[in-house]
Structure 1
Amino acid sequence: MFVLVNLKAYPCDPVAVAEAARTVADAHGVRIAVAPQAAHIDRVAATGVETWAQHVAPVDHGSHTGHALAEAVADAGATGTLLNHSERRLRLADVDGALDAAERAGLSTVVCANNPEQVAAAAALGPDAVAVEPPALIGGDVSVATADPGIVEGAVAAADAVDPDVAVYCGAGVSTGDDLAAAADLGAEGVLLASGVAKADDPTAALENLVSGV
């Protein structure tokens, strides 16, 4: 199982979370990545943890003030990027453009979607993975795998029907080892989470609890 921790814009110490993630990943042999703010990518990558960008723009080098250039985040140490998160929605054409930008920069990709229908559309664009995250459950205390297991199973089936090589992750409310185990049982190959680690008083303990479900 792949664990991707999105730090969003939470007031946490990105380096401390990254160090906790690296420690837990090394101790348990679990793949854990951290997606910090763009300005913190280099500091997080310096810890040795797998580092992702929260977004890249569908642009190439040029006159694009304020856009996150894929090559720039890769140069800072990111090896992957989230795209189309519920808090950073893109039009389908821009998702496609951002995937092209990520491929150009050698970044792995996860495209987020709200439901199985959107998962199918995202999978057709050829990302490395898609992640189903019902917006109503994001930031909550109940995992999507518990609150609506059918949406995870539906996402897995939808992606498989379009492109069996596209992995399926799930997110929204994921925070415990039981959540991770439930996601795996439903066919997900990874999970996205944020507040369960970024807002934790002890990120190491939170991640230890999470990977107990592997």
Structure 2
Amino acid sequence: MFILVNLKAYPCDPIEVATAARDVAEESGVRIAVSPQAADISRVADTGVETWAQHVDPNDYGSHTGSTLAEAVAEAGAVGTLINHSENRLKLADIDGSIQAAERAGLETCVCGNNPGQIGAVAALGPDSVAVEPPELIGGDVSVATADPGIVTDAVDSAANVDEDVDVYCGAGISTGDDVVTAEELGASGILLASGVAKADDPRAALEDLVSGL
């Protein structure tokens, strides 16, 4: 299982979370990555934790003020990027462009979708992975794996019907080790979470709980 921690724009200490994630990954053997704000990518990458960007734009070098250039986040130390998170939706053509930009820069890609139908559509664009995240459960106390396990299994099937090489991650409400185990049992090969770690009083303890059943 892959655990991808999205720090969003939460008022957490990205270095504290990154250090905890690095240590728990080394001790448990579980792959864990942290996705900080773009301004913090370099500092987070310097801790040695696997580092992802939260977004890259579908453009190359040039006159694109305010854009997040894939090459820039790669040079800062990111090795992957989220695309089309529920809080930063893109049109299908722009999702495709962002995937191409990320691939150009050597970044691994995870494209988010609200439901199994969207998962199938974005899987057809050739990302490395997709993450199913019903918006109504994001940031909540109930995980999608518990609230509606059919969404996870249907997303896994939807992606496999398009491209069996695309991994499927489970997001929205994931916060405990039991949630991770349930997601794995439903066919997910990773999880995407945010508040369960970024808002935790003790990020290391939260991460240790997440990997406890793996």
User: Is 2:59 the counterpart of 1:59?
Assistant: yes
Corresponding residue SS for 1:161: helix
Q: How does 1:4-43 map to 2 (within 5 A)?
A: 4-43=4-43
Q: AA paired with 2:26?
A: D
Q: Distance in 2 between matches of 1:50 and 1:86?
A: 22
Shift of 1:83: 0.2
User: Is 2:192 the counterpart of 1:192?
Assistant: yes
Corresponding residue SS for 1:34: strand
Residue aligning to 1:201 = 201
Deviations 1:48-104 (A, max 9, x none): 000000000000000000000000000000000000000000000000000000000
Corresponding residue SS for 1:86: coil
Residue aligning to 1:152 = 152
The TM-score, its normalising length taken from structure 2, stands at: 1.00
The TM-score, its normalising length taken from structure 1, stands at: 1.00
Residue aligning to 1:166 = 166
How much identity, in percent, do the aligned residues show? Answer: 75
Residue aligning to 1:100 = 100
- Where structure 2 has 5 or more consecutive residues not aligned to the other structure, the ranges are none
Residue aligning to 2:179 = 179
Q: Distance in 1 between matches of 2:186 and 2:149?
A: 7
Q: Distance in 1 between matches of 2:38 and 2:163?
A: 30
- C-alpha contact (below 8 Å) 1:14/1:44 kept by paired residues: yes
Moved over 4 A (4+): none
Shift of 1:213: 2.2
Q: Distance in 1 between matches of 2:204 and 2:86?
A: 26
Corresponding residue SS for 1:121: helix
**Count of aligned pairs between the two proteins:** 214
